Structure formats: C-alpha cells, structure tokens
C-alpha cells in the first residue's frame, strides 16, 4: 500500500507520540506509565482515523479512563486472576453499551492493571493524561465534525462476545493456563469485528496473521533488547511493515510490542502461541457466527 505525504506525516506523529510515552516512563523509571493500548489508540486516531473512535472525542478520554480506574480497583479485590478478568470484561461490555460507545481499546485499558498487577497511582495519571491529549488532538484536527455518532454493540452481539469469552475461559482453566485468558489486543479486535455486518474468512486470516505476527515481533525484540525505548523504536516499524505486507489495518497490532515490555514473564514467554490460539478461536468463531446470522448489525 503506497502512502501519501499526509499519511506519512500522520504515521510519524503517531509514532513519536508513543515514543514520547516510552521516553517519559524511562526517565521516571516507572513501567506503569507504559500503556500498550495508547499505541493502538494513537494508530486508530492519528493514522487510520477510525470514524467509530473519533466521532465523539470526549469519549476518547472518558471511556478508557473509566475502564482503567475500574480495572485498577478490581485488581485490589481478593479474587483469583480469571475472576478479575471476567469481571472487568463484563463491566466494560455493559459500560460501553450504556455510553453508546464503540471504542474497543477501552477493554484493553480495563484489563491492563490486572494483567500487570498495577498498584501505583502513576498508572491512572498516565491513562488520564495520554487519553486527554488524544482527545484534544481530535478536537484540534476537527475531523470528527462531519461524522455521525457511534453506536454501541447490539445485545445479540454482546451475548456472542460474552459467550465466546466464557468458552475461552473454560478452555484455559481446563488446560491450566489462566494467563491466556485476557490478551487485550485480541479482545479489542474481537469486539470490533463483531460490530461488522459482514465478516469473511480471508479477513479473519489476515487479522490472525497480523496479531500473531506483531506479538511475535514484540516477543523477539524484547528478548534481544533491554531498553524500553530501543524495543519500541525497533518493533513498531516492524509491525508497520508487517501490516503493509499483508495489506490490513489492525490498530490493536501496534499494542503488542509495547505489551511485551510490561507483561509478566509467565505471559510473555507464551505470547506468540497464546495470541495465535486466542485470535484463531475468536475470529474464526465470528466468521461462523456471521454465516449463521448474516447481514445483521
């Protein structure tokens, strides 16, 4: 895919914004400032200009911030890991419906404090700060003014989303790999594709390759470099090249290299495999669902 000068500019702005986040985390030596879904949000807002994400700029700040705070508080509860993940997912599904919001990265910001066991206020401050900057940037650009307001997921699709997650949770519990239950970029893409009235096998395969490939890039680069900044500088352009090669737009894929930095080692070491298995299960399931319930949204 050839890029225009405007698209190249937008890529550079988005890239530099993510690098700025990593640089701040490095300077303060605080890993909780590193928010993987800021990479996905930045890509969707600056580069792809996803209409569902930018149509109501206030929700770019409101939705991820609230889910991050709720996820942070749930992480403080005396519950097992799987229960915390399921509770957050249930909250986000209902919250986005009540808010009439389709901002899928809100799932990731809700899950992250549980996955990384965030316990410092810097996580909340970072989430509020970066999402606020993104909201202001959309207002300044003004690209949202001619767009129609987004809509929340239909109840039938909410039921499918919940059902697939419960099935996946049962599988990971049976095989005793609870760390595979919540992979934020995969769950973000699942939410997005369920909103599509049509979803085909070829696109599902491309997205599986994109998610697995970006997870593998993040994993391999992390193993070879220790600096958070270098990991980001090397891996994000590689994800860009991967998506250009397979000709698909998946903002969530850009979150994987950053996610590799913050993941516990037990999750990191199986990240490529878990990403492949989870994305294959969820996305192929949606293809089957759309064949059974076609052209409904």
Spans of the chain, pLDDT less than 70: 1-4, 6, 144, 147-152, 294-297
Distance CA 161, CA 200 (A): 17
pLDDT for residue 119? 87
Check residue 196 and give its pLDDT: 86
Radius of gyration of the chain (CA): 18
Q: Give me the pLDDT at residue 259, please.
A: 96
Beta-carbon count within 10 A of 42 CB: 26
Q: 242: left (phi > 0), else alpha (psi -120 to 50), else beta?
A: alpha
What pLDDT is recorded for position 242? Answer: 96
The CA angle 236-242-244, to the nearest 5 degrees, is 105
The predicted structure's pLDDT at residue 294: 67
The pLDDT of residue 141: 80
Q: Which residue has the tokens 């889910």?
A: 67
Continuous H helices in 198-264: 201-224, 228-246, 255-262
Domain ranges of the chain: 5-292
pLDDT, residue 2, reads 63
* Predicted model pTM: 0.93
């Amino acid at each position: 895919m050839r890029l225009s000068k405007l698209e190249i500019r937008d890529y550079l702005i988005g890239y530099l914004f993510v690098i700025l986040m990593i640089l701040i985390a490095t300077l303060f030596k605080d890993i909780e400032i590193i928010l993987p879904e800021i990479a996905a949000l930045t890509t969707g807002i600056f580069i792809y200009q996803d209409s569902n994400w930018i149509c109501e700029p206030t929700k770019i700040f409101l939705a991820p911030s609230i889910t991050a705070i709720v996820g942070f508080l749930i992480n403080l509860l005396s519950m097992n890991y799987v229960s915390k993940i399921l509770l957050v997912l249930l909250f986000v599904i209902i919250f986005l419906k009540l808010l009439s919001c389709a901002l899928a990265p809100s799932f990731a910001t809700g899950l992250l404090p549980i996955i990384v066991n965030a316990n410092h206020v810097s996580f909340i401050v970072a989430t509020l700060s970066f999402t606020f900057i993104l909201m202001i940037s959309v207002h300044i650009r003004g690209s949202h003014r001619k767009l129609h307001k987004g809509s929340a997921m239909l109840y039938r699709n909410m039921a499918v989303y919940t059902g697939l997650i419960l099935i996946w949770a049962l599988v990971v519990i049976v095989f005793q790999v609870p760390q595979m239950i919540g992979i934020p970029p995969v769950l973000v893409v699942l939410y997005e594709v369920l909103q599509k009235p049509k979803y085909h096998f070829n696109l599902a395969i491309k997205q599986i390759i994109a998610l697995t490939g970006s997870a593998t890039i993040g994993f391999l680069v992390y193993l070879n470099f220790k600096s958070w900044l270098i990991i980001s500088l090397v891996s994000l352009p590689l994800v860009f090249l991967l998506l250009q090669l397979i000709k698909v737009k998946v903002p969530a894929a850009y979150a994987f290299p950053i996610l590799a930095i913050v993941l516990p080692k037990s999750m990191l070491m199986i990240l490529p495999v878990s990403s492949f298995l989870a994305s294959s299960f969820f996305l192929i399931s949606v293809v089957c669902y759309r064949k059974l319930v076609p052209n409904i949204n």
